[in-house]
């Protein structure tokens, strides 16, 4: 149920401010520029959660690059991944022989990224690296280690800066922790 007082009333606390996100994303963009200079990498946006991160990160990348988008779903409206990943929209470009940078919003169990990297490796890119804004390493269920991490966060369900719960909150400019009452009966699942 949407709160008639507005979505800010659903947020328990801000976890990462807009200023901290801006600063860290710029740093990551510059580090990627150093690593990929002259390599014309393909940045892959994993829709929908990484839209804002992808947009800011690629604008901080100061050399030639190409951008492509794919859409997967594994979460639905719940807070736990099923581990079953569905590809809703594939890439438009071929990645064979190219340097690929996967841009993800958050890595939790790692199952989604595990599935995605297997899928993309089968297309024989020159290299694949994983960049994630947020990482919850204590929740990992498989051997996935991102190459670039914006922020390591505790085991809390977060929303904002692209991340949703039940389809909303993606437009918040910062990352916040949702009040547990927003989950209702589902709160015992995580």
Whether omega for the bond prior to residue 48 falls within 30 degrees of 0, making it cis, is yes
The helix/strand/coil state of 11 is strand
For ligand 5GP, the closer CB: 41 or 176: 176
* Minimum gap (Å) between residue 176 Cβ and ligand 5GP: 10
CB 73 to ligand 5GP: min, Å: 8
Nearer to ligand 5GP, 32 or 158 (CB): 158
Lookup: tokens for 82: 């099923």
| Annotated active-site residue in 56, 108, 164, 185 | 108
CB nearer ligand 5GP, residue 28 or residue 36: 28
Q: Is 108 a catalytic residue?
A: yes
CA distance 61 to 15: 26
**Residue 131 C-beta: closest distance to ligand 5GP, Å:** 13
Helix (H, G, I), strand (E, B) or coil at 180: helix
Residue 123 token pair: 């297309």
Rg of the chain over Cα atoms, rounded to whole angstroms, equals 17
Residues that bind ligand 5GP (CB under 6 A): 49, 74-75, 81, 104-113, 157-159, 163-165
Q: Which is nearer to ligand 5GP, 58 or 112 (CB)?
A: 112
Residue 27 beta carbon to ligand 5GP: minimum distance, rounded to whole angstroms: 22
- Assign 3-class secondary structure to 28-89: HHHHHHHHHCCCCCEEEEEECCCHHHHHHHHHCCCCCCEEEEEEEECCCCCCCCCCCCEEEE
List residues with catalytic annotation: 108
């Amino acid at each position: 149920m949407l709160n008639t007082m507005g979505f800010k009333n659903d947020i328990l606390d801000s976890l990462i401010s807009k200023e901290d996100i801006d600063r860290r994303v710029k740093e990551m963009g510059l580090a990627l520029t150093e690593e990929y200079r002259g390599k014309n990498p393909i940045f892959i946006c994993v829709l929908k959660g990484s839209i804002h991160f992808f947009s800011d990160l690629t604008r901080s990348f100061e050399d030639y690059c190409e951008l492509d988008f794919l859409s997967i779903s594994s979460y639905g409206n719940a807070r736990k991944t099923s581990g079953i990943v569905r590809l809703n929209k594939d890439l438009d470009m071929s990645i064979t022989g190219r340097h690929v940078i996967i841009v993800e919003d958050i890595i939790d169990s790692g199952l989604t990224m595990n599935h995605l990297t297997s899928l993309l490796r089968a297309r024989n890119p020159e290299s694949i690296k994983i960049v994630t804004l947020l990482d919850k390493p204590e929740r990992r269920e498989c051997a996935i280690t991102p190459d670039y991490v914006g922020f390591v966060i505790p085991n809390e369900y977060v929303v904002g800066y692209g991340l949703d719960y039940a389809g909303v909150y993606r437009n918040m400019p910062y990352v916040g922790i949702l009040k547990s009452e927003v989950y209702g009966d589902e709160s015992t699942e995580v």
